[in-house]
Amino acid sequence: MTFEWDAAKATKNLAKHGISFPEAALVFADPRRLTVIDSRHTTEHRENTTGLVAGLVVVSVTHTDRSGVTRIISARPASRQERKRYHAQD
């Protein structure tokens, strides 16, 4: 998988949520990750993927596909509801 992101957005995201985009990309290595369509955006198809980063932290990553490249838009600690859905797979 190939990733890209806006450098300025990545810096803001790290300051706000404490998660770098390179760390966020690790969520796609989680075989148990959950991906849902982000229906709040109508101009661009976006998805939210929730999964473990480094086997420890459940993270939610908003992303889109652009010509086969995954563009990370934001990353944050997963909400209580997202963590619950993720762990319900057990």
Q: pLDDT for 43-72, tens place per residue?
A: 888 999 999 998 878 999 999 999 999 999
In the chain, pLDDT over 90 holds for what percent of residues?
Answer: 81
Question: Averaged over 4-17, what is the pLDDT?
Answer: 98
Average pLDDT in the chain: 93
- What's the pLDDT score for residue 30? 95
Q: What is the mean pLDDT of residues 17-27?
A: 96
User: Bridge partners of 61?
Assistant: 49, 75
The reply to whether the predicted model has a pTM over 0.85 is: yes
**Domain locations along the chain:** 3-87
